[in-house]
Amino acid sequence: MAQIKDRLADTLNELDETKSKLEQTENQLLNTQSDLEKTKTDDQDIIRDLNTENNNLKTELAEYKSKSEDLENSLATIETKVNELTSELEKASDLENKLNEANSKIDNQTAQIEELNSKLTTVQGENTQLNSQLSELNNTLLQRDSQIQDLTDQITEKEQTLESTTAHLQEVETELEELKPPEIGAGGFTSDERITCPMCGAVGSNIKVTEDKTKVLSYVGHIPMYAKKHVCKKCGYEF
């Protein structure tokens, strides 16, 4: 673009010089014609020289006019190119403006992305903290579950021990009942003496009282209280 402007300036200067020379030539021609008219003498040599100079000046004038036209055409071509380049520069300016707008949008989006990344980092930190707290709670729950399991095992063990002790006490009570001598009352024998096996007719110590595991009367805590049943030691009949 700078070269074109320099060339245009040179062309304009050259055109101005050509016009100046053209004006000088025209002036010289006029002066020659004036001198020719003033010096109307019989000296044919002078006239011939003046005519020759006049013709030479006309030829030079024609050359300068031709060169001036060429320079004007060149100037018109240069101006056309300048206009084209100006239009291209305007388009380039529009593209630059669009590029600036695109860069501005990119900057805004980059800022938004950085803000989102910052929020994401914060959320990840909070998630890490929550996961740590959750891990601590899980460990606490595992410890509590372990404690509960230990207590449950202890309770189960104690219930089994209590159940075994209760059964043993009932067996001891039964044996003591069997070993207890019959009491003689107003009616003769006690009510236990009158319990008779419906199958073989055995009575007294031959009849054992035990728990009926199929009939639960109630619960004391976790311990079931069973109903009583009679078992004949002779025939094994239960009633």
- In the chain, the number of structural domains is 2
| 8, 106: one domain | yes
Q: Quick check: is 46 in a domain? A: yes
Q: For position 155, what pLDDT does the model report?
A: 78
With left for phi above 0 and alpha for psi between -120 and 50, is residue 168 left, alpha or beta?
Answer: alpha
| 102, 154: one domain | no
Read off the pLDDT of residues 14-53 as tens digits, 9 standing for 90 and up: 888 888 888 888 888 888 777 767 766 655 666 677 778 7
- Measured at the CA of 183, the angle between CA 181 and CA 186, to 5 degrees, comes to 165
| Mean pLDDT for the stretch of residues 130-145 | 84
| 103, 42: one domain | yes
Whole-angstrom Cα distance, residue 128 to residue 117? 16
Q: How far is CA 104 from the centre of its chain?
A: 23
For residue 231, the cross-strand partners are 208, 238
Q: How far is CA 124 from the centre of its chain?
A: 12
Q: For position 192, what pLDDT does the model report?
A: 46
Q: Above pLDDT 70, what percent of the chain?
A: 82
| 107, 153: one domain | no
Whole-angstrom Cα distance, residue 235 to residue 223? 31
pLDDT at 180 > cutoff 70: no
Note every long-range contact of 226-234, with CB atoms under 8 Å and residues 24 or more positions apart, other chains counting: 230/195, 230/197, 231/207, 232/197, 232/199, 232/200, 232/202, 232/206, 232/207, 232/208, 233/202, 233/205, 233/206, 233/207, 233/208, 234/197, 234/200, 234/202, 234/206
- Average pLDDT in the chain: 79
Q: How far is CA 52 from the centre of its chain?
A: 96
Structural domain boundaries enclosing 51: 2-111
| 156, 107: one domain | no
Q: For position 41, what pLDDT does the model report?
A: 60
Q: Quick check: is 199 in a domain? A: yes
| 88, 156: one domain | no
Q: For position 172, what pLDDT does the model report?
A: 65
The neighbour count for residue 236, using CB atoms within 10 Å, is 10
Q: Quick check: is 33 in a domain? A: yes
Q: For position 237, what pLDDT does the model report?
A: 92
Among 32-46, 113-127, 175-189, the range scoring the smallest mean pLDDT is 175-189
Q: For position 141, what pLDDT does the model report?
A: 81
Q: For position 40, what pLDDT does the model report?
A: 62
pLDDT at 95 > cutoff 90: no
Strands (E), 121-222: 207-220
pTM, rounded to two decimals: 0.31
Among 71-75, 135-139, 158-162, the range scoring the smallest mean pLDDT is 158-162
Q: Quick check: is 221 in a domain? A: yes
Q: For position 137, what pLDDT does the model report?
A: 81
Q: How far is CA 63 from the centre of its chain?
A: 79
Name which residue leads in pLDDT, 203 or 221: 203
CB 208 within 8 A of CB 231: yes
pLDDT at 136 > cutoff 90: no
CB 182 within 8 A of CB 189: yes
